[in-house]
Every structure is written in structure tokens, then in C-alpha cells.
Amino acid sequence: MERINMTTPLVEIDGDEMTRVLWKMIKEELLLPFIDLKTEYYDLGLPYRDQTGDKVTAEAAEAIRKYGVGVKCATITPNAARVTEYGLKEMYKSPNGTLRAMLDGTVFRTPIIVNGIEPCVRNWKKPITIARHAYGDVYKNTEFRVPGKGTAKLVFTDDDGNVSEQEIFRFEGPGVLQGTYNLDSSIRSFARACFSYALSLNQDLWFAAKDTISKVYDRDFKEIFEEVYEKEYREQFEKAGIQFFYTLIDDAVARIMKSEGGIVWACKNYDGDVFSDMLSSAFGSLAMMTSVLVSPDGCYEYEAAHGTVQRHYYKYQRGEETSTNSVATIFAWTGALRKRGELDGIAELSEFADSLERATINTIESGVMTGDLALITTIPNPRKVNSLDFIRAIRAKLEEEIGRN
């Protein structure tokens, strides 16, 4: 069989532990036999990050900026235990944090829907994508423990020395205080990333905040979204037949529970933190959740939402059998290949991505799955297989699928 040719390389970002093991299996079993895979390879495995003093992470971000599409394996964010385990020179920052900061990106998380792995919410028929604004608010707060009687004020001094001052509260006893901020430029980038992503999925976009209570802060978010929509996206949305609407966060939560899914839900930082975990558990499993970082200038980095599955890796190292779910990592590859195909006008590449996704879903729906899914499936008598056999079962389905086309 002829392999599919690529014109532009994908930025391939390798990672750590069990996901690094799966990465190699996926390439060997599911990609290389079918595609003349062109990648520019960056090894973000912890040993090489350490060897380069973490320079390789910045180089990977530059490469994504250059080529526009990357695919990333899960990586370790070192803590004190990892510094000892790997004999690191430093406790390096989270690679995802570095990539997000360098690409000024927004992260979109989408569950992978499979018959037999049912969402807890019965009417959710299509995936709900969460877009989280990953900047500012309570994550960059300044807090103060009020010891006793006194007056709290909000003071801003501009660079010309003009002072604006307002009272927050007159304390008659101990309590707490918090200051938070955000930037119009960051909110605008976030809004653009959300509008572009909803367009690329051809799905409605919801944005929710609490501007009835927060009449300046949340209103700023609301107004920036509305302004960006009117000026830059309304026409495209109308042409695509999709909708944007703003609503209050409590109303959005109520509506989400009654919706059938198939929407992009843009959230402020804290709301996104909370609701992305709620959604991933309600849809079944973290191992069935994909994640894509989108920059305002249209660069894409695809990955799985889960980590390196450390516990499974230690078993693997001891020579024991593992049954680790590779679905989210496979979908990171298909997302990146499909996008590369779109950008380069290579229809076969995008069609291959569709086939591989169908083969993966059909494998699970036929009752063959990894241990994590076998525990929660509604399919009777599921067959739990090991990590490699699961990928090989997908390969068999993929060959059928492609033979059929």
C-alpha cells in the first residue's frame, strides 16, 4: 500500500513515562505503516530537558510558531521527588505552562464520545468543549489577613501620580481581603481564540460570567467578547450558521445540564478550572479527554488531557503487564494530522485521521478496551487487553476501515 505523503513537518514533542511508551507504539503500529510521517522532533522527556537546561522546551514552542501545528506527549512537571528521582539540576517549570505562555494560547478540552462509555448526564449526546482563560483573576491574586478593626481601600496610582481611591469595607473585627486583576489584551486574545475555535468546529460558542454582580470586572469580559464578536466574527458566524451568546454563569450551568452538547463553552479562569474537571468526570474518564492549545495567530498544539500515568510506568519497568488507555494520545495525533492536512490541502491526511478515530472508537464499541474503560463500560462482557494489544486491535480495525475506502 502507498503511504500518504506530507509536505510540512508536524512538530513532534515527545514526553515521559508510560505515555512515552505509548507514543512509540502508536507511531510504529498506527502511523508509520500508513503515512510517510514528516516530523520535526523535540524530546521533552525529562532527561533531555535537564541536559539542555530546559532550552528544548522553548525551541519546541518556536517550532510550533514556525510550522503552525504540533503534537505533544504528556510530560513530567518536576516536584522535589522528581528532582531526586532524575538527579535534576533544577526543578524546571511545567512544560505546558512554558508552551502556553510562549504561544499566548487558550486550552480547549473535549471529551471523546463512545457508545458504551456513557456520560452521567443522559441528554449529553455530543461533546462539550471547555475553553479556559488561563490568565489572571484569583490565580494571580494578592491576599491579606485582616487582623482587626480598620478600613480597607482599593488604591490605584497612575504613572503621573494621580490617585484613585475607594473604600472596600470598614472592618470592625478580623477577616480577609483579596485583590485580583486581568488585562484587556489577554481577554481579547482569549475571545479571539474562542471564536476561531468555535468556527473551526462549526459549533455554537457560549461565554458566561457574572456581570450583574461584578459590574466592572466581569462586565469588562462581557463587553470585550461582544466587541470582538461584532467587529471580527459576526459575519463568519452567520455564514457558518452558528451562534454566539453571552449569559450569566449560573444560567449557563443550568442550560448545559439540559443541552445535548455540541458546543464550545468559554469560561473565566476559575470557572474553567472547576467545570473542566466536572465535565471530564461526567463524560467518563480523563483518559478519554483531548486537549488543544490554540494561539490567537492560529497555531495548534494537540495533546492528551491526562498525565504520564506514572503508576503504570513503574509496573511496566518491573516487566509487569499494563493496560494503559492510549485513546487521548491517539486523538492528539489525529487532531494534529487532520489540521496539517487542512492547512496543506492534503485530503488523504485528514481522511486518514478520520479513519483512525473511527477505528479507535469501533474497537472499544466492539468490546475490546483497556482496564480503565472495562471498569465503567455498559457493554456486556468487555475484553480487557494490555496496552500493546489494544493498539494492535485498533490497527486491525484501521486496516479494515482503510481497505473499505
> Whole-angstrom Cα distance, residue 187 to residue 182?
8
387 binds ligand NAP (CB under 6 A): no
Residue 328 CB, nearest approach to ligand NAP (Å): 6
Q: Which is nearer to ligand NAP, 306 or 395 (CB)?
A: 306
- Residue 273 touching Mg ion (CB under 5 A): yes
CB atoms within 10 A of CB 142: 9
Cα 374 to its chain centre, rounded Å, is 24
Say whether residue 325 binds ligand NAP (CB under 6 A).
yes
CB of 107 to ligand NAP, least distance (A): 10
Q: How far is CA 138 from CA 45, 94, 179, 247, 271, in A?
A: 31, 19, 8, 21, 11
Interaction partner, residue 325 (Mg ion, ligand NAP, none; CB < 5-8 Å by kind): ligand NAP
Q: Please, are residues 89 and 48 in contact by the beta-carbon 8 Å criterion?
A: no
Binding partner of 74, given ligand NAP, Mg ion, none, CB within 5-8 angstroms per partner class: ligand NAP
Footprint of ligand NAP on 269-288 (CB under 6 A) = 286-287
* Cell 486491535 belongs to residue: 393
Burial 17-56, CB ≥16 within 10 A → b, else e? bbbbbbbebbbebbbeebbebebbebbbbbeebbeeebeb
Identify what 54 binds: ligand NAP, Mg ion, none; CB under 5 to 8 Å per kind: none
Among candidate residues 247, 296, 295, 253, the one with its CA nearest the CA of residue 272: 253
CB of 96 vs Mg ion, minimal distance in Å: 13
Is 75 among the residues that bind ligand NAP (CB under 6 A)?
yes
* Positions in 354-383 near ligand NAP (CB under 6 A): 372
The stretch near Mg ion (CB under 5 A) out of 140-148, 231-239, 266-274, 360-368 is 266-274
Q: What DSSP designation does 259 have? A: S
Task: Decide: is 107 part of the binding site for ligand NAP (CB under 6 A).
Answer: no
Q: How far is the CB of 157 from ligand NAP (least distance, A)?
A: 40
Q: Which residue has the cell 458566561?
A: 208
Residue nearest to Mg ion as judged by C-beta position: 273
Q: Minimum CB separation from ligand NAP for residue 54, in Å? A: 14
Q: Measure the CA–CA gap between 140 and 386, rounded to whole angstroms.
A: 43
**Total binding residues for ligand NAP by CB under 6 A?**
17
Q: Which stretch binds ligand NAP (CB under 6 A): 118-126, 208-216, 247-255, 302-310?
A: 302-310
Closest alpha carbon to 287 in 330, 328, 331, 322: 328
Site string for ligand NAP, 305-324 (x = CB under 6 A): -xxxxxx------------x
CB of 35 to Mg ion, least distance (A): 35
First to last CA, the chain: 13
Q: Which does 201 bind (CB under 5 to 8 A by kind): Mg ion, ligand NAP, none?
A: none
Residue type (1 letter), 107:
V
Say whether residue 281 binds Mg ion (CB under 5 A): no
Least separation in angstroms between residue 282's CB and ligand NAP is: 16
| Of residues 225 and 333, the one with the C-beta less far from ligand NAP | 333
- Strands 106-111, 10-14: pairing kind: unpaired
Which one of Mg ion, ligand NAP, none is in contact with 200 (Cβ closer than 5 to 8 A by kind)? none
76 binds ligand NAP (CB under 6 A): yes
CA distances from 178 to 150, 153, 332 (A): 15, 11, 39
Q: 198, 264 in Cβ contact below 8 A?
A: yes
Q: How many chain residues bind Mg ion (CB under 5 A)?
A: 1
Chosen from Mg ion, ligand NAP, none, partner binding at 372 (C-beta under 5 to 8 Å by type) = ligand NAP
Output the CA–CA distances (angstroms, integers) from residue 153 to 31, 77, 218, 248, 387, in the order listed. Answer: 60, 38, 20, 28, 58
Supply 293's cell numbers. Answer: 492549545
Which of the listed partners (Mg ion, ligand NAP, none) does 309 bind, with a CB threshold of 5 to 8 Å by partner kind? ligand NAP
List of residues contacting ligand NAP (CB under 6 A):
74-77, 96, 286-287, 303, 306-311, 324-325, 372
